[in-house]
């Protein structure tokens, strides 16, 4: 069995307001698997469900974000942890084996506590004593001076804050790290440093990393696996080089052709139409209203990821 298996995962936001019920189909019938030490990048336009998938992988489900169907299974040396509609055992391994860097780092850091006490809380939550030497060495490894321990989160720059969150998320040497746009709102130089830092931590600790980004141009230097997500589910998935050098799904082709290249003066074409409303997604292939190749089958039946070549899967009726 794969190290991480996601099977037919469907997760919805269920909102009740003034007696009215609204369902957001944020993750729909998603199946894929990952091996140990994989570095998976998940790319897709805003609102397509990337953060929701990350939250469910981390087991951060609640009364609003509900796993409606399917499972996420982690196989850690002899012990299995599962997120499913009926159980969530991954919560037991948060921080220690499974870590999560959410999209907004500010939300993780208690604004009323100096960084030292945030680390102290982390040790306490694992029943351990605060280990100053270990914290200082770890801060050093992520390029931070121990001075930050005596600062409040609001006194840190965006880049420093992000490094503190990465230090917290990696201190316990988790085997899986889920990082949701860890560099959004940072300038390009810092962005690159933070991503290289994550990559270094991943290879030093032999961990498995899921990185969510909407910048596909960053991916080749970092990841070995790539998932393209559209409207709640992956439309293309596989070995990074295979997906980038031989993109098959029309949506992936658009994304790749939109990467700016130095010296290229041709006008970039944007994808026609608008991203669908996830509270009322289109039937069949969710990309069909924007796809110039779609036909009746695409309008009526939803394609699932299908193997088209070694380690390369596509969800498109026209790519089989």
Least separation in angstroms between CB 79 and ligand ATP: 29
Pick the piece of the chain touching Mg ion (CB under 5 A) from 97-105, 189-197, 214-222, 247-255.
97-105
What is the contact mask toward ligand ATP in residues 244 to 273, using x (rule: CB under 6 A)?
------------------------------
Nearer to ligand ATP by Cβ, of 143 and 275: the residue is: 275
Least separation in angstroms between CB 180 and Mg ion: 6
Which of Mg ion, ligand ATP, none binds 3 (CB below 5-8 Å, type-dependent)?
A: none
Residues between 39 and 98 that touch ligand ATP (CB under 6 A): 44, 46-52, 64
Out of 199, 214, 302, 318, point to the residue binding ligand ATP (CB under 6 A): 214
Least separation in angstroms between CB 131 and Mg ion: 33
Print the SS3 string covering the chain: CCCEEEEEEEEEEEEEECCEEEEEEEEEEEEEEECCCCEEEEECCCCCCHHHHHHHHCCCCCCCEEEEEEEEEEEECCEEEEECCCCECHHHHECCCEEEECCCHHHCCCCCCCHHHHHHHHHHHCCCCCCHHHHHHHHHHCCCCHHHHHCCHHHCCHHHHHHHHHHHHHCCCCCEEEEECCCCCCCHHHHHHHHHHHHHHHHHHCCEEEEEECCHHHHHHCCCEEEEEECCEEEEEEEHHHHHHCCCCHHHHHHHHCCCCCCCCCCCCCCCCCCCCCCCCCCCCCCHHHCCCCCHHHHHCCCCCEEEECCEEECCHHHC
Residues between 33 and 52 that touch Mg ion (CB under 5 A): 50-51
Residue 26 binds to ligand ATP (criterion: CB under 6 A): yes
Least separation in angstroms between CB 312 and Mg ion: 25
Contacting residues toward ligand ATP, per CB under 6 A: 13, 15, 24, 26, 44, 46-52, 64, 103, 214, 278
Contacting residues toward Mg ion, per CB under 5 A: 50-51, 103
């Amino acid at each position: 069995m794969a190290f991480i298996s996601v099977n037919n995962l469907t997760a919805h936001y269920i909102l009740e307001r003034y007696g009215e019920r609204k369902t957001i189909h944020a993750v729909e019938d998603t199946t894929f698997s990952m091996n140990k030490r994989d570095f998976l990048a998940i790319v897709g336009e805003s609102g397509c469900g990337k953060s929701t998938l990350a939250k469910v992988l981390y087991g951060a489900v609640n009364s609003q974000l509900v796993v409606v169907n399917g499972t996420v299974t982690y196989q850690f040396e002899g012990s299995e942890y599962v997120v499913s509609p009926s159980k969530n055992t991954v919560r037991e391994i948060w921080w220690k084996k499974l870590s999560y860097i959410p999209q907004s780092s500010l939300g993780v850091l208690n604004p009323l506590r100096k960084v030292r006490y945030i680390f102290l809380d982390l040790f306490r939550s694992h029943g351990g004593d605060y280990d100053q030497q270990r914290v200082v060495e770890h801060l050093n490894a992520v390029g931070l001076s121990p001075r930050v321990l005596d600062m409040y989160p609001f006194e840190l720059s965006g880049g420093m804050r992000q490094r503190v969150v990465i230090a917290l998320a990696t201190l316990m040497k988790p085997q899986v790290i889920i990082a949701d746009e860890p560099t959004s709102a940072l300038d390009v130089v810092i962005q690159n440093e933070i991503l290289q830092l994550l990559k270094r931590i991943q290879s030093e600790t032999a961990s498995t990393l899921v990185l969510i980004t909407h910048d596909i141009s960053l991916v080749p230097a970092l990841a070995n696996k790539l998932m393209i997500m559209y409207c709640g589910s992956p439309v293309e998935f596989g070995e990074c080089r295979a997906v980038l050098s031989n993109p098959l799904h029309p949506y992936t082709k658009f994304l790749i052709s939109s990467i700016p290249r130095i010296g290229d003066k041709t006008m970039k074409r944007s994808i026609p139409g608008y991203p669908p409303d996830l509270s009322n997604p289109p039937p069949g292939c969710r990309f069909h209203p924007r796809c110039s190749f779609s036909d009746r089958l695409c309008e009526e039946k939803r394609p699932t990821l299908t193997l088209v070549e070694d380690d390369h899967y596509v969800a498109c009726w026209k790519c089989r």
